[in-house]
Amino acid sequence: MLIITIAFLQSFILITNQQQYQVKFKLTSFGMKFQYPNISDLYSVQSNVFSTIRCAKICSIEPECQTFDYDISSNVCRLFSIWSYQVAGGNGPGTNRTQLNYPLGIYLDVTSNSLYIANYYCHNIVRWVIGATSWTLVAGDINGMSGNSSTMLFYPLDVEVDFMGNVYVADTSNHRIQLFQAGSRNGTTIAGVTGISVVVTSLKWNATGITVAGVTGISDTTPDKLNKPQGLSIDSNGTLYIADRNNCRVQKWLSGARNGTTVAGQSNGTCGSGPSLLQTPQGVIVDSDGNVYAVDTYNNRVQLWSYGASFGIMVAGTVMIPYFEIMNNLYNTLRSSMQYTVFLFPSTGISNSGNNQLSFPRDMARDPTTGTLYISDYFNHRIMRYLVNALSGTVVAGGNGPGTNRTQLNYPLGIYLDVTSNSLYIANYYCHNIVRWVIGATSWTLVAGDINGMSGNSSTMLFYPLDVEVDFMGNVYVADTSNHRIQLFQAGSRNGTTIAGVTGISGTDPYHLNYPYALKLDSQLNLYRETNEILRQINRLPPGVVIWQHSVNILRWNGLYKECIAFSRYDNYYDTI
Q: Rounded distance, CA 132 to CA 98, Å?
A: 9
Domains 103-185+200-317 and 361-538 in one fold: yes
E strands, 55-152, in order: 67-71, 76-80, 103-109, 114-119, 124-129, 136-140
Q: Nearest Cα to 412, choosing from 421, 400, 422?
A: 400
Question: Three-state SS across 451-465?
Answer: CCCCCCCCCCCCCCE
Residue 154 · residue 171 · CB < 8 Å: yes
Q: Rounded distance, CA 316 to CA 389, Å?
A: 9
Q: Rounded distance, CA 234 to CA 241, Å?
A: 6
Q: How many CA atoms lie within 13 A of 255 on its CB side?
A: 10
Per-residue tens of pLDDT for the chain, all 577 residues: 444 444 444 444 443 333 333 334 444 444 445 555 566 677 788 888 877 777 877 887 777 777 777 777 778 888 877 665 567 888 889 999 999 998 888 898 888 889 999 999 999 999 999 889 999 999 999 999 999 999 999 999 999 999 889 999 999 889 899 999 999 999 999 888 887 765 444 566 666 777 888 888 788 999 999 888 888 888 888 898 999 999 999 999 898 889 999 999 999 999 999 999 999 999 999 999 999 999 999 999 999 999 999 999 999 998 554 444 444 554 444 444 434 333 333 333 333 789 999 999 999 999 999 999 999 999 999 999 999 999 999 999 999 999 999 999 999 999 999 998 899 999 999 999 999 999 999 999 999 999 999 999 999 999 999 999 998 888 899 999 999 998 999 888 999 999 888 999 988 777 788 888 878 877 766 766 566 555 555 554 433 222 222 222 222 222 222 233 333 323 333 333 3
pTM for this one? 0.59
Enter the CATH code of domain 361-538. 2.120.10.30
Residue 290 · residue 275 · CB < 8 Å: no
Q: Rounded distance, CA 266 to CA 340, Å?
A: 34
Considering the domain 103-185+200-317, what is its CATH architecture? 6 Propeller (2.120)
DSSP structure class, residue 483: G
Q: Rounded distance, CA 356 to CA 393, Å?
A: 6
Q: Rounded distance, CA 523 to CA 228, Å?
A: 25
DSSP structure class, residue 217: T
DSSP structure class, residue 359: S
Strand-pair partners of 575: 565
Q: Please report, in angstroms and rounded to a whole number, the separation of the first and last CA atoms in the chain.
A: 10
Sorted by where each begins, the domain ranges of the chain are 103-185+200-317, 361-538
Reduced to 3 states (helix: H, G, I; strand: E, B; else coil), residue 334 is helix
